[in-house]
Amino acid sequence: MGEDILHICKNAASLLLSMPRSSRIRVVSHYDADGISAAGVLCKAVSRVGYNFHATLMRNPFTKGFDRLKNEKNKLIIFSDMGSGQIETIESLGCKAIILDHHQYLTAQTSKEVIQINANLFGFDGNYDASGATLSFLLATTLDPGNEDLAPLALAGATGDKQFIGGVRGLNKKILEEAMQKGFLTEETSIKLYGETTADALFYSVDPYYPGLSGNQAAIETLLEKLQVEHSTKIQELPKEKLTQLQSYLIFLLMKVGCQQNILDMTIRKRFIAPQGWELERFADLLDACGKNGRRGLGLSLCFDDGSTWKDALMVEKDYKQKILNGLKDVEHGGIHETEGMRYFYSDSSSLGGVVAGIAMNYVLDEKKPLFSLARKQVDDEVHVSCRGNQKLVAEGLDLGSAMKTAAAELGGYGGGHKIAAGATIVYDKEKEFLQKVNEILIQQRKRRV
């Protein structure tokens, strides 16, 4: 592991510990699975050292939260899974800050009040080697090596950001190997199917999304009849040969729609189970559903693991998955516009739009162009943009984070993110110009690689 990152984590830990124990540590994190896990890791770590904490899960970038943070007169704020895109804003808060981020950064230079721990600044690839939760884990274990039991939570965050596609790498790999050695995670090879019954598990399977089967009760009943499986049978009760038949059929469905090999490889694979009994990706799905379906606090309380919130979270998740299924249906049934460099569709909700775009990119549309979701918010005079690519396009030169940053900045908006997944906010009546600019940038990115 890079000495530099450990060194800066030590500085950050010293800064934190220089706060009197009577102070309340402010944690601001992103509201997706990685951000919630990151906040969970940090809140547990600071409370174990004896601090109280106050955590808020926000959108990245935070705009509406700014006044609130400014008015709170914090002495120290820890930003996780966000911050590197808003150094100036954070500096203007006038307090000390620790940033734990893996998104593309704007500048390596910060004022002495701000410690920026961005994976990309320390030789790690922020897309795959380390997530916001991974970096939070690094700070937590620097504070106290005893926090290594938080590895499953941290790695759930990394899977939530799809960092394991193509294999576990970088810091994630190191943390995973140590957690396995110490018994904080066990391994099994399986497909991702969960739910009260087999029929339920298939119906609500959105990632992987099985075109023609997910969300389609009639098709599921026909399939289960053919397999001679009662639709109320639990997944764990399926006889081995039935499970094998079902898995083969599901893989066949994915191959039929031309799913990329790295996505197929993610379907049946080694999975890692926490002592609490949850598999990493399954837990990340639950956190993501809470965060993006209006129950951010419930997501964070799941990280505190007394089991009492699990049932509530399952209900939130079902509702959320139905919304995703509805969004995917719209995309499948002609809701897509296409230009030379990109495809796009409209969505009522920006966060849901981003999720639908990611799933549609991997399981519904062909791999050739990135997919954008636009959410028009006329009352706020804004359009929220979310975009998703795939590994093949990134290998060929696609950089959505930089495209969003450049196009949005030229039109007085703001944008950024990763090469494979990014977002932007622009003024309402600049949508057409924005789409034209992004299209040009994407065409240029493609030309550069030819």
For 57-80, letters b (16+ CB in 10 Å) and e give bbbbbbeeebeebeeeebebbbbb
Stretch binding Zn ion (CB under 5 A), from 115-123, 156-164, 397-405, 426-434:
156-164
Strands (E), 257-370: 268-273, 337-338, 343-346
Please give, one letter per residue, the 3-state secondary structure of 368-388. Answer: CCCEEEEEEEHHHCEEEEEEE
Amino acid at 412: G
Stretch binding ligand C5P (CB under 6 A), from 254-262, 267-275, 313-321, 421-429:
421-429
Please pick, from the candidates 25, 130, 421, 441, the single residue that binds ligand C5P as defined by CB under 6 A.
Answer: 421
34 near Zn ion (CB under 5 A): yes
Beta carbon nearer to Zn ion, 161 or 285: 161
Is 120 within 8 Å of 126 (Cβ atoms)?
yes
Report in angstroms how near the CB of residue 250 gets to ligand C5P at its nearest: 27
Beta carbon nearer to ligand C5P, 370 or 417: 417
Stretch binding ligand C5P (CB under 6 A), from 163-171, 302-310, 361-369, 419-427:
419-427
Report in angstroms how near the CB of residue 135 gets to Zn ion at its nearest: 9
Report in angstroms how near the CB of residue 59 gets to ligand C5P at its nearest: 7
Is 56 within 8 Å of 65 (Cβ atoms)?
yes
Please pick, from the candidates 78, 286, 415, 445, the single residue that binds ligand C5P as defined by CB under 6 A.
Answer: 415
Please pick, from the candidates 12, 39, 77, 85, the single residue that binds ligand C5P as defined by CB under 6 A.
Answer: 85
Q: How far apart are CA 427 and CA 376, in angstroms?
A: 10
Identify the burial level of 160 via C-beta atoms within 10 angstroms of its C-beta, where 0-12 means exposed, 13-18 middle and 19 or more buried.
buried
200 near Zn ion (CB under 5 A): no
Residues 94-153 that bind ligand C5P (CB under 6 A): 103
Q: What angle do helix axes 151-160 and 170-181 make, rounded to 10 degrees?
A: 140
Q: How far apart are CA 424 and CA 413, in angstroms?
A: 7
Helix (H) or strand (E) holding 236: none
Encoded one letter per residue, x for contact with Zn ion by CB under 5 A and - for no contact, window 56-95 reads -------------------------x--------------
Residues 353-372 that bind ligand C5P (CB under 6 A): 354
Report in angstroms how near the CB of residue 399 gets to ligand C5P at its nearest: 12
Beta carbon nearer to ligand C5P, 254 or 383: 383
Q: Nearest Cα to 5, choosing from 114, 117, 112? A: 117
Q: How far apart are CA 395 and CA 67, in angstroms?
A: 40
Q: What is the Cα Rg of the chain in Å?
A: 22
Query: What residues contact 12, with CB distance under 8 A and at least 6 apart?
Result: 98, 115, 117, 139, 142
Beta carbon nearer to ligand C5P, 61 or 170: 61
Select the residue whose beta carbon is closest to ligand C5P and give its number: 417
Tell me phi and psi for residue 117, to 5 degrees: -105, 90
Query: Across-strand partners of 376?
Result: 383
Please pick, from the candidates 37, 56, 60, 172, the single residue that binds ligand C5P as defined by CB under 6 A.
Answer: 60
Report in angstroms how near the CB of residue 355 gets to ligand C5P at its nearest: 8
155 near ligand C5P (CB under 6 A): no
Residues 373-392 that bind ligand C5P (CB under 6 A): 386
Tell me which of ligand C5P, Zn ion, none is bound by residue 132, counting a contact when its beta carbon lies within the kind-specific cut-off of 5 to 8 angstroms: Zn ion
Please pick, from the candidates 157, 208, 215, 417, the single residue that binds ligand C5P as defined by CB under 6 A.
Answer: 417
Distance (Å) of CA 405 to CA 64, 119, 208: 20, 19, 30
Q: How many other CB atoms are there within 10 angstroms of residue 168's CB atom?
A: 21
Tell me which of Zn ion, ligand C5P, none is bound by residue 416, counting a contact when its beta carbon lies within the kind-specific cut-off of 5 to 8 angstroms: ligand C5P
Which chain residues interact with Zn ion by CB under 5 A?
Answer: 34, 81, 131-132, 161
Which chain residues interact with ligand C5P by CB under 6 A?
Answer: 30, 60-61, 85, 103, 354, 386, 414-417, 421-425
